[in-house]
Amino acid sequence: MNRSRIGYSVTGGALAILFLFPLLWSGWASVRTGSGFGLENYDRLFTSDNGVRPQHVLNSLVVSVLTVGGTLFVATLGGYAFGRFKFPGRDVLFLVTLAILMVPYATILIALYVLLGWIGLEDSLVGLSLVLVMFQLPFSIFMMRNSFEAVPRELEESAQMDGCASVGTLVRIMLPAVKPGLITVGLFAFLTSWSEFFAPLILLNSTDKFTTTLAVVNMRTASHGSIDYAALEAGVVFMAVPCLILFAFMQRSYVRGFTSGAIKG
């Protein structure tokens, strides 16, 4: 093994330890008790008066599913339009879409809260999902545009010669070809919406509509307002498990989608 490979291995191992250490620490702290190790922290997480309830998990699932569905729908159509059609102002509109990434989303949450109130979606999971979809669109449209551009135009031209319209070409030819990009966008949208804290904190008022992140942060003991850190660590592990499972099953398509999305742009 030459020195360059040794350097890559050492650097990769160091980065892996750096990124895995917080998760491993949370897992260790979540099972540590005063008398040793056990699952008491998880029991308090789900049984205490202000702990996590099945309704909170269901709320997070609803928000995540709506966010993923909305993001995939809009980003697919937007990426297809930017990547395969030419129209006046296309490049300028695309640059404006990317420029939204430079705006800290926290600075516009209050305005979005007021807007949701005007349209009757304040304190609702649907309204929260729409906001999260909006935050995901610049990156997702960028990924899907590059994924569509990586598909050979001969496939699209052959479908059109066989009589397929633009919608038929998109559904039958293009979507299967950009499947890694779709998985990447969908997985990224799920990971972000599942773990999002600040937007639900601002946009949700009713405790029965809290997401799991809000319920976990709300874990406090009844005496003197002190925080039950062990139960919080259990909540962190509980929140991380679905993300780890999804990533383990979809990591190949996830990496392939990022690679195809980085080829052009």
Residue 74 lies in a domain: yes
Residue 152 lies in a domain: yes
Handedness of CA 218, 224, 226, 231 (dihedral sign): negative
pLDDT for 262 equals 47
Count other Cβ atoms within 10 Å, centred on residue 261. 24
Residue 141 lies in a domain: yes
**Rg of the chain (C-alpha set):** 22
Residue 138 lies in a domain: yes
Among residues 208, 194, 234, which one has the least CA distance to residue 53? 208
Residue 153 lies in a domain: yes
Residue 51 phi, psi dihedral angles, 5° rounding = -85, -170
Give me the residues paired with residue 37 across strands: 32
Cα(238)–Cα(126) distance, integer angstroms: 24
pLDDT for 184 equals 87
Residue 4 lies in a domain: no
Cα(28)–Cα(78) distance, integer angstroms: 44
Which H or E element spans position 54?
helix 54-84
Q: Which residue has the tokens 């449209």?
A: 141
Residue 5 lies in a domain: no
Give me the CATH number covering residue 108. Answer: 1.10.3720.10
Which H or E element spans position 246?
helix 229-263
Q: How many domains does the chain have?
A: 1
What domain range includes position 113?
Answer: 39-263
Q: Which residue has the tokens 């939204």?
A: 100
Residue 29 lies in a domain: no
* pLDDT one digit per residue (tens) for the chain, 265 residues: 566 677 778 887 888 888 888 888 888 888 888 777 888 888 888 887 777 889 999 999 999 999 999 999 999 999 988 888 888 888 888 888 888 888 888 888 888 889 998 998 889 999 999 999 999 999 999 989 988 888 887 777 777 777 677 777 777 888 888 888 898 899 989 999 999 999 999 999 888 899 999 888 877 654 456 677 888 888 888 998 888 888 878 766 656 655 554 444 4
pLDDT for 124 equals 93
